[in-house]
Amino acid sequence: MHAYDAFLAGPEHSLNLARLQADFNREFDSPCPPVVVVARRLEVMLAGDQCFAIVAGNGHGLVGHALVTLRPTFYFDGPLAVLDELYVQPVLRGRGIGSALIDRLLQGLALRGSLELHINVDEDDTATRRFYEHHGFDNNLPGSDWQMLLYYQELPPTK
């Protein structure tokens, strides 16, 4: 068995990333655009400076990925980061691949001067919540027992 490396993805990884993403969404019954559409969008995104992806793989292919998006903030000079996606193929979980992806993306954020990383998690997804708490994430406001909540709304297409 080969060990898995975690490394920065380029636009050339878009199709493989899109396939992993489709597997991720299928596992959680979450809607996902077609793989070719996701791949095309990721190719554009990864060529820009508002996101980056870390992939885990060996010579035989990719087995996991993390997608980080960046947005500006007035609280510090670097970007505020969101870990929008983190996936490892089910049969390979529990081997530290997710942790390796996180370690590598934290390096990427340090390079970019980001001082804050967010992630949105479902309340009932206890395994995921434990994983992120283990990796230094907190759901409570500093100095309080109150949780921070994510609200969202879908917006109508304009045409």
Q: Are 100 and 54 in contact (CB under 8 A)?
A: no
Among 9, 51, 54, 55, binds a copy of itself (CB under 8 A): 51
- Evaluated on CA atoms 91, 117, 35, 100, the torsion sign reads negative
For the chain, the residue count is 159
H or E element that contains 7: strand 5-8
Q: Write each residue from 130 to 159 as x if it is in contact with a copy of itself (CB under 8 A), else as -, in one continuous string.
A: --xx-xxxxx-x--x-xxxxxxxxxxxxx-
Q: Are 135 and 102 in contact (CB under 8 A)?
A: yes
Q: Write each residue from 17 to 46 as x if it is in contact with a copy of itself (CB under 8 A), else as -, in one continuous string.
A: -x--x----------xx---xx--xx-xx-
- Evaluated on CA atoms 42, 82, 56, 121, the torsion sign reads negative
Q: Write each residue from 81 to 110 as x if it is in contact with a copy of itself (CB under 8 A), else as -, in one continuous string.
A: -x-x---------------------x--xx
Distance CA 16, CA 32 (A): 15
- Residue 47 found at the interface with a copy of itself (CB under 8 A): no
Size of the site for a copy of itself (CB under 8 A): 64
| Residue 94 Cβ vs a copy of itself, minimum distance, rounded to whole Å | 21
Q: Are 42 and 14 in contact (CB under 8 A)?
A: yes
Q: Which of the stretches 5-13, 54-62, 65-73, 87-95 binds a copy of itself when contact is defined by CB under 8 A?
A: 65-73
Q: Are 120 and 150 in contact (CB under 8 A)?
A: yes
Q: Which residues bind a copy of itself (CB under 8 A)?
A: 18, 21, 32-33, 37-38, 41-42, 44-45, 48, 50-51, 69-77, 80, 82, 84, 106, 109-111, 113-124, 129, 132-133, 135-139, 141, 144, 146-158
